[in-house]
Each structure stands twice: as structure tokens, then as C-alpha cells.
Amino acid sequence: MATHSIGVHVGPGLTDDGEPDRGGPVARAAEMDADGVQVFLADPQGWKTPKPRPDAEQLRTAGLDVHVHAPYVLNVATTNNRIRIPSRKLLGAHARAAADVGARGLVVHGGHVLAADDPAAGVDNWRKTFARQADEGGFPVPVLIENTAGGGNAMARDLDALARLWDAIGEFGAGFVLDTCHAWAAGWDLATAVADVRAITGRIDLVHLNNSRDAAGSSRDRHAPLAAGEIPVELLVEVARAADCPVVLETPGDVADHAGEIGLLRAALS
């Protein structure tokens, strides 16, 4: 029987002063009986370089599956130099910081190009990002690209776009994160999504197991509790089972809610 690691997104887990908040992510995981945590290492809407964490050793040695989520503002695909170049530099900085906390991987959204641009330019910008890093010895942790819910000229919204992207970056060892809410919003068939993605990428490294507040194909990224959204919970369980990789819940709710979701999912997968 496969063992499924179930983690929860806990945000930075730090106070405004940079100290562990209520014990930090490791304490949050213990409260929820989670196998892992996903954390931010800096403001998810900002451009600041991540600072060393006071709980880095605790994260490294706690026996948890740790994943780091890069800031949402990063977009290495864009043709806008004022965004692409800082994005590329910050991606490298977050990868180094992720390695320092013992992360299994660094999650980053696929990004997009401007409306007037050919998406091929964005694909090539991703290729250049990996190629430049390879010349410097590669990323210290796997970079895991996540599918997105909407947006024009997106690199990882549609399966055909994902195929074009992987043709360019697959050789560099890029990983993939399947977000079920995003896939649902983009109109994917969740019953076949795992097989569809694997046929393109050869791998799924992480599942963001989120329900959706909106209908299939809505292009709206609004997460719902695991058993209280538009996606049948049985379908979400089957995605987790088929992917057979670590799962992170990014669902709304408090510690008790997430503990309940972990228990539900663990029982369904046992």
C-alpha cells in the first residue's frame, strides 16, 4: 500500500519580528497531525529576498515533508524585463533559502506573457532560466511548476501549453505541481488529469488538493474546504490516490478544520 504524505500550507509561520509564530510551522503540523508543511519564506506579494529563518534547523530535522512556495509576483515567462529579470534572480534566491530549510522543492506558478506576445516567447524565457541556472550548477532544490487557473497567454493553464513548456524545460529536471482547484477552473477532466499530466511531464511531484468555490471551467481561483466545494470529494481523493505523491492542503479553515481534513483524507486513502 502506498503511503501518502499529507501536509498543510501554513504561510510564513513567523511573526512580524521574524520569530516563529506560536511555535512556527513545526508546531502547526503537530497540532494538525500533518506529515508536512508548505511555507512562504518572504512576503508572497513582494520582491524581498528571503532572510535566514530562526527555525531553519527545526524545519530540517522535524521529519516533515517541507515545501516552499515562491512569491506569487514572480513571472520568469514575461517579456517585461523589469519583471522577468528580478523574477529570475529571486527564484534563485528562494531556491537557496528553500534548501536551507530542507525543502523537498520550490513551488512556482508558470506565469504568462503579455496579451500581444507569442506564448513561445514565455516558453523560451523559462528555458533560458533553467539553462542559465544549469550553467551555475543547477537549482539546489527541484523547481516545481504549478498549473494555473486562468489568465491569457499562460504557460501552465492548458495541457497543450504545458506540453510546449515541457518540451523546452523537461531536460533540466523541472518538477510539476498539480493544483486541483486550478485544474478544475481551467476545465480539465480531474478523472484523467493525473494521467494527462504524466503523459506530458512524466512526473507529478506534489498535489495541491483544493476544492473550488466555482464551477468547472470558470477560470476562477477560489479555494474551498476539501468536502465543501464544487468538486466531488471522492474525485479529489482519487486524484491524490492516482498521483501517489505528497499532498498539500491549501484550503480555507483553522487548525481544527485542517486536522479534520487530514483525518478524512488519510482514512479515505488507507
Q: What are 31-40's pLDDT values in tens digits? A: 999 999 999 9
The three-class DSSP label of residue 214 is coil
Question: How far, in whole angstroms, is CA 118 from its chain's centroid?
Answer: 25
Least Cα distance to 127 among 114, 145, 103 occurs for 145
Widest pairwise Cα distance in the chain? 49
Residue 4: predicted pLDDT: 87
The pTM (predicted TM-score) of the whole model is: 0.97
Task: Answer yes or no: are the C-beta atoms of 140 and 99 closer than 8 Å.
Answer: yes
pLDDT in tens, 146-179: 999 987 799 999 999 999 999 999 999 999 999 9
- Regions in the chain scoring below 70 on pLDDT: 1-3
* Angle between the N-to-C axes of helices 255-269 and 24-32, in degrees from 0 to 180, rounded to the nearest 10: 60
In this structure, what are the phi and psi dihedrals at residue 178, rounded to the nearest 5 degrees? Answer: -95, 110
Residue 71: predicted pLDDT: 98
Question: Terminus-to-terminus CA distance in the chain, angstroms?
Answer: 8
Least Cα distance to 250 among 36, 58, 104, 74 occurs for 36
Alpha-helical runs (H) found in the chain = 24-32, 56-61, 81-100, 119-135, 159-169, 180-185, 193-201, 233-243, 255-269
Least Cα distance to 183 among 230, 120, 228, 143 occurs for 230
Nearest-5° Cα angle at 265, 38 to 21: 30
Percent share of the chain, pLDDT over 90: 96
108-132: burial string, b at 16+ Cβ within 10 Å, e else: bbbbbbeeebebeebbebbbebbee
Kindly report the CATH number that applies to the domain delimited by 6-269.
Answer: 3.20.20.150
Residue 1: predicted pLDDT: 32
Q: Cell 501554513 belongs to which residue?
A: 10
d(CA 177, CA 259): 23
Q: Is 91 exposed, middle or buried (0-12, 13-18, 19+ CB in 10 A)?
A: buried
Question: How far, in whole angstroms, is CA 151 from its chain's centroid?
Answer: 17
Domain ranges, ordered by start, for the chain: 6-269
Task: Answer yes or no: are the C-beta atoms of 211 and 228 closer than 8 Å.
Answer: yes
